[in-house]
Amino acid sequence: MFFFGKKKKKLKQTKKVTTKEKLSAMDDKQKILLMIRKMRSRIDPDILNKAENVALSQIGEGSFVPQENEASRLFKLAMQNNGARRSEILTLVERRVNKDLH
């Protein structure tokens, strides 16, 4: 058993590619896209969203505002004023659900 020694692993020599070499291999469009991605990653997401909304409003398109569905509207009503109308709204929801089931 002593004659089975550990085999020494041969290290593979790989050629490391520097970023300058990567950039020289890319065409101009890819270089510009890479620069844009790097700049966008540095920008705060909140500021980026605000800038997109302003840009959309300047070209005439409004920013996307999701329509509020009825369930979220009723939930907000129920939670206003520390849940003062909670039981009233829950009975309303219960009636609607029972009506749909029958």
The tokens of 81 are what? 């004023």
Q: Is residue 93 part of a domain?
A: yes
Q: Does position 86 have pLDDT exceeding 70, yes or no?
A: yes
pLDDT band at 33 (very low <50, low <70, confident <90, very high): very high
48: Cβ–Cβ under 8 A, 6 or more apart, which residues? 40
Which residue has 């569905």 as its token pair?
69
How far is 48 from 51, CA to CA, in rounded Å? 5
- Is 5 domain-assigned? no
Residues 6+ apart with CB under 8 A from 52: 63
65 belongs to a structural domain? no
How much is the pTM? 0.30
More confident residue, 90 or 11: 90
Domain co-membership, 25 together with 53: yes
Same domain, 54 and 82: no
The domain tally of the chain equals 2
Average pLDDT over residues 1-24: 63
Q: Is 13 among the domain residues?
A: no
Q: Give CA separation, 93 vs 29, 74, 77, in Å.
A: 56, 8, 12
- pLDDT at residue 12, as a whole number: 66
The alpha carbons of the chain give a radius of gyration, in whole angstroms, of 31
Answer whether residue 48 is part of any domain. yes
Q: Is the domain of 25 the same as that of 54?
A: yes
What domain range includes position 46?
19-58
Residues 29 and 52 in one domain: yes
For residue 73, what pLDDT is reported? 82
In a domain, 50, yes or no: yes
Confidence band of 40 (pLDDT split at 50, 70, 90): confident
3 within some domain: no
Q: Is residue 10 part of a domain?
A: no
Pick from 7-11, 48-52, 70-74 the range whose average pLDDT is largest: 48-52
Task: Look at residues 87, 96, 89, 88 and name the one whose alpha carbon lies nearest to residue 74.
Answer: 89
